C-alpha cells in the first residue's frame, strides 16, 4: 500500500544539503536537467501567485509560570487590614457618647471629674443608668448660669437637675439632665 504525499508545501522540508555539489564554474557548460517539477510541491498553475514555504515551526514556547501569591504580599495585606481596624475602632471608641444622646436616653457618668464627666449612653434598664436626658439644645453656652437659664426656659426640660455643655468641635450643644430613678 502506498500513500500519496500531502498537498501543498512540505512542513518537514530541510534546508539545502551542505554536502551537495556546488555550481559549475563560470564559462562551463551546464548539465541538462530533467523536465520534472521541483520536489516538495506541485507545479504552479498559470496565473497563480507564488508564495514562500512555511518557516520551520518548531516546538511552541512554554507558557510562563503562574505568579504565586507570596507570603510577603499576604502579610502586607493583613498588616494594612489590622491598622485600618485599629484606626476605625479607635475613632469609634473616642467618640463622645454625649454627641449621640437624644431626648429620653439614659446616661452614665464614667468620671468624677466635673471638667470631663465622660458621659455615655446606656440602656435605661441597666444598673449603670444615672441620668435621663430631658432636652438637647444646639448652641454654645459660656457658663453654668447661661446653660441653666436655657434649660429652665425649655418647656420639656422642666425639673432638670444637671446641665452638660459641649463645645469646640463644631457640634456645640447643651444637655438638660435629671437623676434617673429606677
**Is 170 among the domain residues?**
yes
**Is 114 among the domain residues?**
yes
143 contacts 167 by C-beta, under 8 angstroms: no
Q: How many domains does the chain have?
A: 1
Sign of the dihedral defined by the CA atoms of residues 39, 42, 46, 52, in that order: negative
Q: pTM for the complete prediction? A: 0.45
Could you report the per-residue pLDDT of 36-75, keeping only the tens digit for each? Answer: 555 555 555 666 666 666 666 667 778 887 777 788 889 9
139 HSE (CA, 13 A, CB side): 11
**Is 116 among the domain residues?**
yes
C-alpha cell at 15: 534546508
**Is 15 among the domain residues?**
no
Give the sheet arrangement for strand 131-138, strand by strand: 119-122, 106-109, 131-138, 173-179, 162-166
Name the helix (H) or strand (E) containing 74: helix 71-94
Domain extent, residue 148, equals 97-179
Q: What percent of the chain has pLDDT over 70?
A: 59
Question: What's the rounded Cα separation, in Å, for the pair 11 and 5?
Answer: 11
Amino acid at each position: 500500500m502506498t500513500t500519496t504525499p500531502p498537498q501543498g508545501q512540505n512542513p518537514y522540508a530541510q534546508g539545502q544539503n551542505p554536502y551537495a555539489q556546488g555550481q559549475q564554474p563560470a564559462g562551463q557548460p551546464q548539465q541538462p536537467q530533467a523536465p520534472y517539477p521541483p520536489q516538495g510541491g506541485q507545479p504552479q498553475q498559470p496565473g497563480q501567485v507564488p508564495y514562500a514555504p512555511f518557516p520551520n515551526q518548531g516546538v511552541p514556547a512554554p507558557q510562563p509560570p503562574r505568579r504565586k501569591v507570596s507570603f510577603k504580599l499576604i502579610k502586607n495585606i493583613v498588616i494594612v487590614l489590622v491598622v485600618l481596624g485599629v484606626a476605625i475602632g479607635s475613632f469609634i471608641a473616642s467618640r463622645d457618647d454625649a454627641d449621640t444622646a437624644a431626648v429620653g436616653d439614659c446616661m452614665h457618668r464614667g468620671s468624677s471629674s466635673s471638667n470631663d464627666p465622660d458621659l455615655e449612653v446606656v440602656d435605661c434598664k441597666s444598673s449603670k443608668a444615672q441620668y435621663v436626658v430631658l432636652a438637647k439644645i444646639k448652641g454654645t453656652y459660656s457658663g453654668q448660669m447661661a446653660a441653666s437659664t436655657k434649660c429652665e426656659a425649655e418647656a420639656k426640660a422642666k425639673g432638670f437637675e444637671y446641665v452638660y455643655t459641649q463645645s469646640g468641635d463644631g457640634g456645640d450643644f447643651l444637655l438638660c439632665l435629671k437623676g434617673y430613678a429606677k
